[in-house]
Amino acid sequence: MGNSLVDLFRSETEFDVKASEMYGLMREAAKAEFLLNAVKCDVPHTYARQIATGKKEDAPFIVAGIDLSSGKDWTPGQQDTAADETPEQEPERAAGQDVRSGSGSVGIIRKHEQRVEWIDIQDIIRKGNAPVSLPPGTEINFTLKNGDPASVVVVGVDHYEKGDCVFWFRRIIGRHCMNRDDTNEGRFPDSDMNAYLNDEVFALLPDDLQSVIAVHKTVQKTADDDIETEGRLFLMSVYEGRGSNDWAEYNGIDKQFPFFEERRNRVAYDEDGDPVWYWTADPSAANTTTFCLFSYGGSSNYFFASADGGVAPLFVIK
């Protein structure tokens, strides 16, 4: 049997090679070494590609990790509005306005911005690194398919189950009613809002974000039975935001997101950066025509189901 091409090479075999070919071999070997190190160190995909190609990419969104360090005299107010106060009656105020400052103490905000992709976010979560890399308060800014900017914030890690990460649209994604016919019959599962979220709003999300959002089950109690629905976008309950139920019936399983323990963190904003009231998933237990909401200052209230309120949904990645 004749010798193969491989048989021609022995240890320390010398052969002629052009300088340009040697350069190409060394370049590809170095590239492979860099990419292998990137994989071992969990370097985000965007960075790894740019290292390999030498071409700068514009990532779809920015992650801004926020570290808020407060002075010891800086105490946020936690008082809610009176029971008879409606969203229209409450004066517009910015988050954290009900704050008493002591002897010149200030809150210091430090931001670190990093360009990543949604697949990188899911990878972080699945590897169990979310508590460190995506702690509650981490803000993610991206662009919707219609060109509008969007901003979500991490509000919980391992909240519904081990290994999940919950995001909230702190910048509302529009305004919509809970039900056009001014009723809370059927609660959130049968509401116009639920259909709107998982049809029109979900369609606005970038494809790569849609692909990583998990299905979530919402459970609500009625006088006779529990009502359940599944969807990829959903509204928080009053209990999840406030830790208590003033106007709604508690389902026995919801837990407050630690991020929302401070009332100012429950404040949502509109496209102009102004505080805005927004809907929750809970129908009011007081009557059959209203749903519960969080107001301009992050307090809980209720209003007519046919009103166009802020849409601030949540979603889960796991």
pLDDT digits (tens, 9 = 90+) for 210-225: 999 999 998 887 666 7
pLDDT score of 112: 58
Distance CA 278, CA 312 (A): 7
Q: What is the pTM of this model?
A: 0.68
Provide the mean pLDDT of the chain. Answer: 79
| pLDDT given for residue 223 in this prediction | 64
pLDDT at 93: 38
**pLDDT tens column, 227-251:** 888 999 999 999 999 988 777 778 7
Tokens of 101: 């400052």
Mean of the pLDDT values across residues 180-204?
A: 94
Give how far Cα 118 sits from Cα of 53, 121, 213, Å. Answer: 21, 5, 10
Pairing mode, strands 61-69 and 108-116 = antiparallel
Q: Which amino acid is at 284?
A: S
Do 173 and 312 touch, CB atoms closer than 8 A? yes
pLDDT at 251: 79
Say which residue the tokens 């407050």 belong to.
256
Contact between residue 64 and residue 113 where contact means Cβ atoms under 8 Å apart: yes
Domain ranges across the chain: 17-53, 61-317
Angle between helices 118-126 and 45-53 (to 10 degrees): 120
**Alpha-helical runs (H) found in 169-265:** 192-196, 202-204, 207-210, 238-242
Provide the pLDDT confidence category of residue 65 given band limits of 50, 70 and 90: very low
Mean pLDDT of 187-203: 95
Task: Give the strand pairing for 275-276 and 278-283.
Answer: unpaired
Phi–psi pair at 257, nearest 5 degrees:
-70, 125
- Average pLDDT, integer, range 45-68: 58
**Structure-token pair, residue 153:** 């914030």
Q: Are 305 and 290 in contact (CB under 8 A)?
A: yes
